[in-house]
């Protein structure tokens, strides 16, 4: 069950990255989106950790397990990183126009 271990490690890495990124929020040009990125990393890390413990119960076949693992990794990491890119670059993005701050 290597995927369970890798999912758990990925979730822990997101939580660690969340903590490190949280310290640098004040130095980013767009603080509101930086806070959003912080929350995205936190919640996605929690999701990956929870799913690491749920994988054995899902009874997925090996191929579906790999597909689920790949999609979870791409989705969880790209979500937080997209917010972080906007926070660091302060690029005006119409999708984030209703964000507080």
pTM assigned to the model = 0.82
Share above pLDDT 90 across residues of the chain, in percent, rounded to a whole number: 44
Residue pointed to by tokens 């937080």:
80
- Total Cβ atoms within 10 A of residue 38: 23
Whether the CB-CB separation of 28 and 89 falls below 8 Å is answered with no
Rounded to the nearest integer, the mean pLDDT of the chain is: 87
CA dist., res. 62 & res. 75, Å (int):
20
């Amino acid at each position: 069950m290597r995927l369970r271990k890798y999912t758990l490690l990925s979730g822990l890495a997101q939580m660690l990255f969340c903590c490190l990124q949280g310290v640098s929020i004040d130095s980013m040009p767009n603080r509101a989106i930086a806070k959003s990125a912080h929350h995205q990393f936190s919640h996605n890390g929690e999701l990956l950790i929870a799913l690491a413990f749920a994988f054995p119960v899902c009874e997925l076949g090996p191929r579906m397990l790999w597909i689920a693992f790949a999609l979870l990794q791409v989705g969880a990491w790209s979500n937080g990183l997209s917010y972080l890119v906007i926070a660091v670059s302060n690029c005006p993005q119409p999708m984030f126009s209703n964000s507080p701050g």
